[in-house]
Amino acid sequence: MAEMSVDLVAVERLLWSGQASFVSAQTTEGQIGIMPGHEPLLGQLVEGGTVNIVSTDGERIVAAVHGGFFSVTANTVRVLAESAEFAGEVDVEAARKVLADTSATEEQQRAAQARVRAVEQVASA
């Protein structure tokens, strides 16, 4: 099986690093899927998106990300997010409260939506 090296990094910490067979991310140009051997690429992550990684052992990693960039070479994907958290770390109730709060900023709303979406993606897998 072909594989690539993947790093998922937020400003405050390294979330995940390892070998993967597939990565998908929401970018300013739309959803993108990356497999080993992909053409080199540099992209911007959307505010309030998700990143999905399928490791070479079949584990599915889902993270809510808020802004940042990613770079792709034939054998490497680096996701550099302004902030990110694994779906399992998301406080869904707190995120839903932000979504219901009419005084929340648009940025807070997008971040909360990404958190809820990340949890939903894991639940549907």
The pLDDT mean for the chain works out to 90
Which superfamily does 1-124 belong to? F0F1 ATP synthase delta/epsilon subunit, N-terminal (2.60.15.10)
Residue 2 DSSP one-character state: -
Looking at per-residue confidence, does 64 or 19 come out higher?
Answer: 19
What does the pLDDT look like over 25-68, one tens digit per residue? 999 999 999 999 999 999 999 988 899 999 999 999 999 898 89
pLDDT recorded at residue 125:
54
pLDDT at 18 over 60: yes
pTM for this prediction: 0.82
For residue 109, report the phi and psi dihedrals to the nearest 5 degrees.
Answer: -65, -45
pLDDT recorded at residue 123:
64
Residue 43 DSSP one-character state: E
pLDDT recorded at residue 60:
94
In the chain, what are the domain boundaries? Answer: 1-124
- The two three-digit tokens of residue 22, written as one number: 């597939």
**Residue range 108-119: average pLDDT?**
80
41, 68, 91, 98, 107 from 72: Cα distances, Å: 5, 14, 31, 34, 27
